[in-house]
Amino acid sequence: MKHVCVVGAGVIGSATALALAREGIEVTLVDAADRPGQGASRANGAQLSYSYVEPLATPAALRALPGWLLSRDSPLSWQPRWQASHWRWLAAFIGACSQARVQQTTEVLLRLSFLSRDVLARWQHEHPLGVQVRQAGKLVIHRDPAKRDAAQRQVDWQARFGCRQLLLDADACRQREPALAHDRAPIAFGIWTPDEAVTDAQQLSRALAEASRARWRMDTRVAGFVQRDGRVQALRCVSAGGAEREIEADAFVVAAGPGAAALLQPLGIQLPIEPIKGYSISLQVANAARAPQVSVTDAARKLVYARLGEQVRIAGFAELRGADLRIDPRRIAAMLQAATDTFPGAFQTGDPQPWAGLRPATPGSRPLIGPTRVGGLWLNTGHGALGLTLACGSAWLLAQLMQGRSVPIDASPFKLAS
Ligand SMILES: Cc1cc2nc3c(=O)[nH]c(=O)nc-3n(C[C@H](O)[C@H](O)[C@H](O)COP(=O)(O)OP(=O)(O)OC[C@H]3O[C@@H](n4cnc5c(N)ncnc54)[C@H](O)[C@@H]3O)c2cc1C
């Protein structure tokens, strides 16, 4: 395999380009956007959440679902669509909400996330990525004391896979993050994970794409595939100016995030991926002593806070409304309110830089990494809420699989069922 073409220059495609290039493979990176990191990877929550990989589909989520859907202020919203794939996805999501399945998925995702942490560390050491990856530690604050026992059980269970986590009382939470001293809502307890890190996903995407020395084909939309003898031979592409061209390669990787399902449908490949919209704001720090340094997750409000230099990125919400990127001002107002309640006086709120992105989510939160039934066509997509966290491990794993090498973790849970 001499030349591979990667479709999608988000954090997954850019990491894939570098993983392949490190194997001595010539790489072409194609994206409809004008530069890497413009899709879901642009202004996401910035969390490298290696120990928080529990799937979205859990028994607790299933129980809470009716209440969430009926409440106007709920972090989750849903607009039914009359598409068979949408209902198949929902049925599979509900089917995945069993405790046994949650534990299996958490275990396989922990292995992938730890692999990702190791691969990113190696790449940072061996390439001048020039991106700050800060081991900020993560503090998940809980407002409901009744959740304490379940949280402790989860911490104990995850410890056997190598997660280092500690349950803290409210005072200890405020010692870990002194900016929480001004929080207007009471804290019941928290979980502290010292190994978690933060980084800017857009900058990382670009740095990975540059380090790969791939041939970039930006402003280029992939409209379809040219197949011969059951193998993909080329991509059919359209440039921003409308010019059509084909790009040939020995193999192709679809890393098109929320765009992957539509791209593969004409080949008869049904990817179980739903776009789940989320929002972020990025606030300039006004008073450094009042802004968080550690990465904070407010479990009750389902919001994450990450300090990126002089800004704090706040992200959250989950909307199943198709590929609609419109920004709902009520979501932005809710995030601003939560940020000023939790860290009063910390931020300038005049220019919150509102952003919305689509998480490419599979029903059970397992990404799709591996071959398809079409020759020469591979997948690295469906990373849902964890694409930044899992990018480097997923990319490395795929590059090994494409070369027929054995891998240190079981890759079968990530294979698309044919
Ligand atoms: C609000 C929010 C917060 C999040 N926070 C975190 C977090 O804190 N930590 C974490 O780990 N993850 C987080 N995520 C998830 C993470 O952002 C995604 O999983 C990740 O960005 C997916 O990367 P990707 O490369 O697969 O997709 P994308 O970044 O969307 O990249 C796909 C690319 O494919 C291109 N493309 C699609 N179709 C075509 C086509 N036909 N032709 C050419 N190009 C095409 C697109 O232009 C795009 O650039 C968050 C997501 C959201 C929305």
250-284: per-residue pLDDT in tens? Answer: 999 999 999 999 999 999 999 999 999 999 999 99
Contacts of 282 (CB under 8 A, 6+ apart): 43, 308, 311, 312, 313, 314, 352, 353, 355
* CB-ligand 1 contact for 202 (6 Å cutoff): no
Stretch 159-171: mean pLDDT, rounded? 97
What is the average per-residue pLDDT within 158-167? Answer: 97
Q: Supply the residue whose CA is at minimum distance from atom 33 of ligand 1.
A: 8
Give the mean pLDDT of 399-418. 96
pLDDT attached to residue 147: 95
What pLDDT is stored for residue 375 in this prediction?
A: 97
Q: Which atom of ligand 1 is nearest to the CA of 304?
A: 8
For ligand 1, the distance from its centroid to the CA atom of residue 394, given in whole angstroms, is: 14
Query: How far does residue 39's CA lie from ligand 1's centre (Å)?
Result: 5
- 122-150: pLDDT as tens digits: 999 999 899 999 999 999 999 999 999 99
Q: Please indicate whether residue 382, judged by its CB atom, sits closer than 6 Å to ligand 1.
A: no
Residue 383 Cα to ligand 1 midpoint, Å, equals 8
Tell me the average pLDDT across 29-53: 98
Kindly report, residue by residue over 88-110, the tens digit of the pLDDT: 999 999 999 999 999 999 999 99
Give the start-to-end residue ranges of the domains of the chain: 3-41+203-270+364-414, 61-81+132-197+274-361
Q: Number of C-alpha atoms within 13 angstroms, CB side, residue 138?
A: 26
Beta-carbon contacts of residue 383 (< 8 Å; ≥ 6 apart): 12, 257, 359, 360, 367, 390, 391, 394
DSSP H/E element including 158: helix 148-159
> pLDDT at position 69, please?
79
Where b means 16+ CB within 10 Å and e means fewer, 229-249 reads eeebbbbebbeeeeeeeebeb
Decide if 343 contacts 290 (C-beta within 8 A): yes
What fold characterizes domain 61-81+132-197+274-361? D-Amino Acid Oxidase; Chain A, domain 2 (3.30.9)
**What rounded mean pLDDT belongs to the chain?**
96
What the block records as the tokens of 367 is 């990404």
pLDDT at 72 over 80: no
What Rg value do the Cα atoms of the chain yield, rounded?
A: 21
DSSP 105: H
110 close to ligand 1 (CB < 6 Angstrom): no
**Equal CATH topology for 3-41+203-270+364-414 and 61-81+132-197+274-361:** no
**Pocket perturbation via mutation, ligand 1, pick of 109, 359, 365, 389 by most ligand atoms within 8 A of CB:** 359
* Ligand 1 atom at minimal distance to the Cα of residue 12: 25
> pLDDT at position 68, please?
80
In this prediction, residue 66 has a pLDDT band, given cuts at 50, 70 and 90, of confident
Q: Residue 113 above 80 pLDDT?
A: yes
**In 10 A of CB 164, how many CB atoms?**
13
pLDDT of residue 200 exceeding 80: yes
Contact (CB, 8 A) for 198 and 47: yes
Q: Is the CB of 105 under 6 A from ligand 1?
A: no
Atom of ligand 1 nearest to the CA of 384: 19
Please identify, by atom number, the ligand 1 atom nearest to the C-alpha of residue 46.
8
Closest protein CA for atom 21 of ligand 1 = 41
Q: State the closest ligand 1 atom to the C-alpha of 277, by its place in the atom list counted from 1.
A: 53
Q: What is the pLDDT of residue 118?
A: 98
**Residue 386 CA, ligand 1 centroid: distance in Å:** 10
Residue 112 beta carbon below 6 angstroms from any ligand 1 atom? no
Q: Give the DSSP per-residue string, 7-48.
A: E--SHHHHHHHHHHHTTT-EEEEE-SSSSSS-STTSS---EE
Percent of the chain with pLDDT strictly greater than 90:
94
Give 216 Cα–ligand 1 centroid separation in angstroms. 18
The backbone torsions φ and ψ at residue 196, rounded to the nearest 5 degrees and listed phi first, read -70, 155
State both tokens at 94: 């509900």
Determine the average pLDDT of the residues in 216-224: 98
Determine which residue's CA is closest to atom 1 belonging to ligand 1.
278
Look at residues 284, 282, 296, 307 and name the one whose alpha carbon lies nearest to residue 342: 296
CB burial class (10 A; 0-12, 13-18, 19+) of residue 22? middle
pLDDT tens, position by position, 289-298: 999 999 999 9
Q: Which of 69-73, 98-102, 200-204, 401-405 has the lowest mean pLDDT?
A: 69-73
Measured CA to CA, the distance from residue 203 to residue 92 in angstroms comes to 34
pLDDT per residue as tens digits for the range 351-406: 999 999 999 999 999 999 999 999 999 999 999 999 999 999 999 999 999 999 99
Q: Looking at domain 3-41+203-270+364-414, which CATH architecture does it have? A: 3-Layer(bba) Sandwich (3.50)
Q: Which residues contact 198 (CB under 8 A, 6 or more apart)?
A: 46, 47, 48, 133, 134, 136, 295, 306, 307, 308
How confident is residue 73, by pLDDT bands cut at 50, 70 and 90? confident
Q: Whose CA is nearest to atom 15 of ligand 1?
A: 385
CA 284 to ligand 1 center in whole angstroms: 24
